[in-house]
Amino acid sequence: MTGSILPIAPGLLERFRQAGSKIAWRPAARSPGKPTRPGGARRARIAHLNDEESRVEDDQPDAGYRIVTDSGPVGALVLVLEIDRRGPPDRLRAHEAGKLPGFPSGSLEAVWGAPPRKDDPILALPDLIGLARYALA
């Protein structure tokens, strides 16, 4: 990949991509709630990088795609890389601690294929990028 829709200097984007290739993934138990992935499954994993971890859940409601992460640097990095890959999300938001099951410390969420809601707590892309920088070693 060379181009990106992200407002990031090419050198920083390359560092994000390199860090992304070093993420170790392992399965995790799903959070309670209604599965929305076709076939009734929602995927839950743990992303591990540089002694930090983030819970990551994704599903495919209807024709879209949704990914939720813990609200720390590794979770932000996972979302930045997904935005780099998929393009701008239709919704990018942050949730307070305990708002979503499985994310007691707060969460970050990106959704593609669904219109924004008026009550969405919007997360600015530069803020997400700034948080993701802390995941770099």
Residue 7 has pLDDT above 80, yes or no: yes
Average of pLDDT values for 26-52?
77
The per-residue pLDDT for 61 is 63
pTM of the complete model beyond 0.85: yes
Are the C-beta atoms of 36 and 60 separated by less than 8 Å? yes
Residue 109 has pLDDT above 90, yes or no: yes
Per the prediction, the chain carries an average pLDDT of 87
The per-residue pLDDT for 114 is 79
Q: Which long-range contacts (CB under 8 A, 24 or more apart) does 78-81 make?
A: 78/20, 78/23, 78/47, 78/54, 79/108, 79/110, 79/128, 79/132, 80/6, 80/16, 80/128, 80/129, 80/132, 81/16, 81/17, 81/20
- Nearest-angstrom CA–CA distance, 58 and 69: 9
Tell me which of 43 and 60 has the higher pLDDT.
43
Residue 35 has pLDDT above 90, yes or no: no
- Nearest-angstrom CA–CA distance, 35 and 68: 14
Tell me which of 115 and 99 has the higher pLDDT.
99
User: Where are the chain's structural domains?
Assistant: 26-31+41-133
Give the percent of the chain with pLDDT over 90: 61
- Nearest-angstrom CA–CA distance, 135 and 9: 17
**Sign (positive or negative) of CA dihedral 103, 23, 78, 44:** negative
Provide the pairing of β-strand 52-59 with 43-49.
Answer: antiparallel
Give the percent of the chain with pLDDT over 70: 88
Confidence of residue 3 (pLDDT cuts 50, 70, 90): low
Beta strands in 4-136 (DSSP E): 24-27, 43-49, 52-59, 65-70, 91-95, 107-112
